[in-house]
Chain A
Amino acid sequence: DTAVSQTPKYLVTQMGNDKSIKCEQNLGHDTMYWYKQDSKKFLKIMFSYNNKELIINETVPNRFSPKSPDKAHLNLHINSLELGDSAVYFCASSQDSGVSPLHFGNGTRLTVT
Protein backbone atom coordinates (compact mmCIF):
# COMPACT_ATOMS: atom_id res chain seq x y z
CA ASP A 1 0.00 0.00 0.00
CA THR A 2 2.92 2.33 -0.78
CA ALA A 3 1.63 5.87 -1.27
CA VAL A 4 4.26 7.21 -3.72
CA SER A 5 6.38 4.59 -5.40
CA GLN A 6 9.35 5.10 -7.68
CA THR A 7 11.27 2.64 -9.78
CA PRO A 8 14.06 1.83 -9.97
CA LYS A 9 15.57 2.53 -6.55
CA TYR A 10 19.10 2.49 -7.97
CA LEU A 11 20.22 3.28 -11.48
CA VAL A 12 23.83 3.02 -12.63
CA THR A 13 24.54 3.90 -16.22
CA GLN A 14 27.18 5.31 -18.53
CA MET A 15 27.44 8.79 -19.93
CA GLY A 16 25.46 9.32 -23.08
CA ASN A 17 22.77 6.76 -22.27
CA ASP A 18 19.05 7.49 -22.03
CA LYS A 19 17.13 6.35 -18.95
CA SER A 20 13.69 6.68 -17.40
CA ILE A 21 12.42 6.79 -13.83
CA LYS A 22 8.80 5.93 -13.14
CA CYS A 23 6.57 7.27 -10.40
CA GLU A 24 3.08 6.32 -9.31
CA GLN A 25 0.93 7.60 -6.46
CA ASN A 26 -2.20 5.93 -5.08
CA LEU A 27 -3.26 8.82 -2.84
CA GLY A 28 -5.66 10.37 -5.33
CA HIS A 29 -3.58 13.56 -5.34
CA ASP A 30 -3.90 16.07 -8.16
CA THR A 31 -0.33 17.38 -8.18
CA MET A 32 2.94 15.53 -8.73
CA TYR A 33 6.54 16.73 -8.67
CA TRP A 34 10.09 15.79 -9.46
CA TYR A 35 12.85 16.99 -7.14
CA LYS A 36 16.60 16.56 -7.42
CA GLN A 37 18.74 16.14 -4.30
CA ASP A 38 22.45 16.66 -4.86
CA SER A 39 25.38 15.25 -2.92
CA LYS A 40 25.12 18.07 -0.36
CA LYS A 41 21.49 17.12 0.30
CA PHE A 42 20.20 20.29 -1.34
CA LEU A 43 16.67 19.76 -2.74
CA LYS A 44 15.52 21.58 -5.83
CA ILE A 45 12.27 21.29 -7.72
CA MET A 46 12.49 20.31 -11.37
CA PHE A 47 8.90 19.91 -12.54
CA SER A 48 5.36 19.99 -11.27
CA TYR A 49 2.22 18.64 -12.90
CA ASN A 50 -1.36 19.28 -11.89
CA ASN A 51 -3.86 16.84 -13.33
CA LYS A 52 -1.52 15.93 -16.19
CA GLU A 53 -0.70 19.55 -17.02
CA LEU A 54 2.77 21.01 -16.57
CA ILE A 55 2.65 23.92 -14.11
CA ILE A 56 6.26 24.31 -12.97
CA ASN A 57 9.24 23.84 -15.24
CA GLU A 58 12.39 25.04 -13.55
CA THR A 59 15.63 25.81 -15.32
CA VAL A 60 16.37 22.21 -16.18
CA PRO A 61 18.29 21.06 -19.28
CA ASN A 62 15.91 19.97 -22.03
CA ARG A 63 17.53 16.54 -21.84
CA PHE A 64 15.08 16.03 -18.97
CA SER A 65 11.51 15.41 -20.11
CA PRO A 66 8.65 14.62 -17.75
CA LYS A 67 5.60 12.73 -18.95
CA SER A 68 2.29 12.37 -17.14
CA PRO A 69 0.00 9.84 -18.82
CA ASP A 70 -2.60 10.31 -16.08
CA LYS A 71 -2.78 12.15 -12.78
CA ALA A 72 -1.48 9.12 -10.84
CA HIS A 73 1.73 8.81 -12.85
CA LEU A 74 4.65 11.12 -13.54
CA ASN A 75 7.67 9.67 -15.29
CA LEU A 76 11.04 11.31 -15.91
CA HIS A 77 13.04 10.58 -19.01
CA ILE A 78 16.65 11.72 -19.27
CA ASN A 79 18.53 11.78 -22.57
CA SER A 80 22.28 11.83 -23.10
CA LEU A 81 23.14 11.40 -19.42
CA GLU A 82 26.05 13.42 -18.04
CA LEU A 83 28.22 12.95 -14.95
CA GLY A 84 26.56 15.97 -13.32
CA ASP A 85 23.18 14.27 -13.48
CA SER A 86 24.27 11.91 -10.70
CA ALA A 87 21.95 12.62 -7.76
CA VAL A 88 18.92 11.27 -5.93
CA TYR A 89 15.67 12.03 -7.74
CA PHE A 90 12.51 12.20 -5.66
CA CYS A 91 8.98 12.03 -6.91
CA ALA A 92 6.34 13.65 -4.70
CA SER A 93 2.64 14.34 -4.72
CA SER A 94 0.24 16.65 -2.91
CA GLN A 95 -3.51 17.03 -2.62
CA ASP A 96 -3.31 20.41 -4.29
CA SER A 97 -0.58 22.77 -5.44
CA GLY A 98 -1.03 24.99 -2.40
CA VAL A 99 -1.15 24.20 1.30
CA SER A 100 -1.05 20.41 1.55
CA PRO A 101 2.35 18.91 2.44
CA LEU A 102 4.25 16.88 -0.09
CA HIS A 103 4.34 13.10 0.12
CA PHE A 104 7.68 11.85 -1.18
CA GLY A 105 8.65 8.60 -2.82
CA ASN A 106 11.72 6.71 -1.64
CA GLY A 107 13.98 8.24 -4.25
CA THR A 108 16.01 6.93 -7.16
CA ARG A 109 19.78 7.13 -6.78
CA LEU A 110 21.19 7.77 -10.24
CA THR A 111 24.90 7.25 -10.78
CA VAL A 112 26.39 8.20 -14.12
CA THR A 113 29.86 6.78 -14.84
Chain B
Amino acid sequence: ELKVEQNPLFLSMQEGKNYTIYCNYSTTSDRLYWYRQDPGKSLESLFVLLSNGAVKQEGRLMASLDTKARLSTLHITAAVHDLSATYFCAVGFGNEKLTFGTGTRLTIIP
Protein backbone atom coordinates (compact mmCIF):
# COMPACT_ATOMS: atom_id res chain seq x y z
CA GLU B 1 0.00 0.00 0.00
CA LEU B 2 1.25 3.45 -0.92
CA LYS B 3 2.37 5.51 2.05
CA VAL B 4 2.99 9.24 1.81
CA GLU B 5 4.86 11.09 4.53
CA GLN B 6 5.44 14.79 4.84
CA ASN B 7 7.81 16.59 7.08
CA PRO B 8 7.78 18.64 9.02
CA LEU B 9 4.20 18.35 10.25
CA PHE B 10 4.33 21.82 11.73
CA LEU B 11 6.53 24.67 10.60
CA SER B 12 6.75 28.12 12.08
CA MET B 13 8.99 30.49 10.22
CA GLN B 14 9.76 34.15 10.07
CA GLU B 15 8.82 36.37 7.20
CA GLY B 16 11.57 36.73 4.66
CA LYS B 17 13.14 33.31 5.37
CA ASN B 18 13.41 30.33 3.05
CA TYR B 19 12.30 26.82 3.88
CA THR B 20 11.49 23.46 2.32
CA ILE B 21 8.69 20.96 2.93
CA TYR B 22 9.44 17.35 2.04
CA CYS B 23 7.10 14.67 0.69
CA ASN B 24 8.32 11.06 0.61
CA TYR B 25 6.33 8.20 -0.84
CA SER B 26 6.80 4.47 -0.65
CA THR B 27 6.03 2.96 -4.07
CA THR B 28 6.07 3.81 -7.77
CA SER B 29 4.10 6.85 -8.78
CA ASP B 30 3.44 8.63 -12.04
CA ARG B 31 1.98 11.84 -10.67
CA LEU B 32 2.33 14.05 -7.65
CA TYR B 33 0.28 17.05 -6.60
CA TRP B 34 0.65 19.86 -4.11
CA TYR B 35 -2.44 21.42 -2.55
CA ARG B 36 -2.97 24.32 -0.19
CA GLN B 37 -5.69 24.49 2.46
CA ASP B 38 -6.48 27.65 4.43
CA PRO B 39 -8.12 27.13 7.85
CA GLY B 40 -11.75 26.10 7.49
CA LYS B 41 -11.52 26.25 3.71
CA SER B 42 -11.31 23.99 0.71
CA LEU B 43 -8.17 22.58 -0.90
CA GLU B 44 -6.66 24.46 -3.81
CA SER B 45 -4.44 22.79 -6.39
CA LEU B 46 -0.97 24.37 -6.60
CA PHE B 47 1.19 22.10 -8.75
CA VAL B 48 1.01 18.90 -10.79
CA LEU B 49 4.33 17.08 -11.30
CA LEU B 50 4.38 14.24 -13.79
CA SER B 51 7.97 13.32 -14.56
CA ASN B 52 11.35 12.87 -12.93
CA GLY B 53 13.12 16.19 -12.58
CA ALA B 54 9.92 18.21 -13.07
CA VAL B 55 10.08 21.66 -11.51
CA LYS B 56 7.18 24.09 -11.29
CA GLN B 57 7.18 27.59 -9.82
CA GLU B 58 4.45 30.02 -8.91
CA GLY B 59 5.38 33.18 -7.06
CA ARG B 60 7.35 32.30 -3.92
CA LEU B 61 6.60 28.58 -4.18
CA MET B 62 8.61 26.07 -6.17
CA ALA B 63 7.90 22.34 -6.35
CA SER B 64 10.19 19.61 -7.66
CA LEU B 65 10.00 15.86 -8.14
CA ASP B 66 12.66 13.16 -7.93
CA THR B 67 10.95 9.90 -8.84
CA LYS B 68 14.09 7.83 -8.22
CA ALA B 69 14.31 9.04 -4.63
CA ARG B 70 10.50 9.04 -4.37
CA LEU B 71 10.71 12.57 -3.06
CA SER B 72 9.07 15.87 -3.82
CA THR B 73 9.95 19.19 -2.27
CA LEU B 74 7.99 22.40 -1.90
CA HIS B 75 10.37 25.31 -1.44
CA ILE B 76 9.23 28.62 -0.03
CA THR B 77 11.32 31.67 -0.83
CA ALA B 78 11.23 34.86 1.27
CA ALA B 79 8.07 33.81 3.10
CA VAL B 80 5.21 36.26 3.53
CA HIS B 81 2.30 36.04 5.96
CA ASP B 82 -0.29 35.12 3.34
CA LEU B 83 1.53 31.85 2.67
CA SER B 84 0.36 30.60 6.09
CA ALA B 85 -1.76 27.50 5.39
CA THR B 86 -1.63 23.71 5.46
CA TYR B 87 0.13 22.18 2.48
CA PHE B 88 -0.60 18.66 1.29
CA CYS B 89 1.15 16.50 -1.23
CA ALA B 90 -0.81 13.72 -2.92
CA VAL B 91 0.56 10.82 -4.93
CA GLY B 92 -1.07 8.54 -7.48
CA PHE B 93 -0.29 5.84 -9.99
CA GLY B 94 -2.34 4.99 -13.07
CA ASN B 95 -6.02 4.88 -12.23
CA GLU B 96 -5.33 4.13 -8.58
CA LYS B 97 -6.74 6.45 -5.96
CA LEU B 98 -4.71 9.44 -4.83
CA THR B 99 -3.05 9.07 -1.45
CA PHE B 100 -2.61 12.27 0.50
CA GLY B 101 0.26 13.09 2.83
CA THR B 102 -0.27 14.09 6.44
CA GLY B 103 -0.10 17.79 5.66
CA THR B 104 2.35 20.47 6.83
CA ARG B 105 0.86 23.31 8.82
CA LEU B 106 2.89 26.39 7.96
CA THR B 107 2.73 29.53 10.06
CA ILE B 108 4.60 32.64 8.95
CA ILE B 109 5.49 34.96 11.81
CA PRO B 110 6.00 38.69 11.13
Contact = CB atoms under 8 A, between A and B. Distances in A.
Q: Is the interface of B mostly helix, strand, loop or mixed?
A: strand
A101 B42 contact: no
B25 interface: no
B83 to A, nearest CB: 17
A103 B42 CA distance: 9
A34 B13 CA distance: 33
Contacts of A104: 42-44
A44 B88 CA distance: 12
Interface of A: 40-45, 48, 55-56, 58, 90, 92, 97-107
Contacts of A58: 97
A98 B102 CA distance: 22
A63 B59 CA distance: 44
B95 A98 contact: yes
**6 nearest interchain CB pairs?**
A101-B45, A43-B100, A104-B43, A104-B42, A106-B42, A41-B103
Contacts of B48: 99-101
Contact of A45 (B43, B50, B88, B98): B98
Contacts of A56: 97
Contacts of A107: 41-42
Interface in B32-59: 33, 35, 37, 41-45, 48, 50
A105 B31 CA distance: 22
B110 interface: no
A99 B98 contact: no
B88 A43 contact: yes
Question: Which interface residue of A44, A101, A106 has the most chain B CB atoms within 10 A?
Answer: A101
B86 interface: yes
Contacts of B103: 41-43
Contacts of A98: 31, 92, 94-95
A105 B100 CA distance: 17
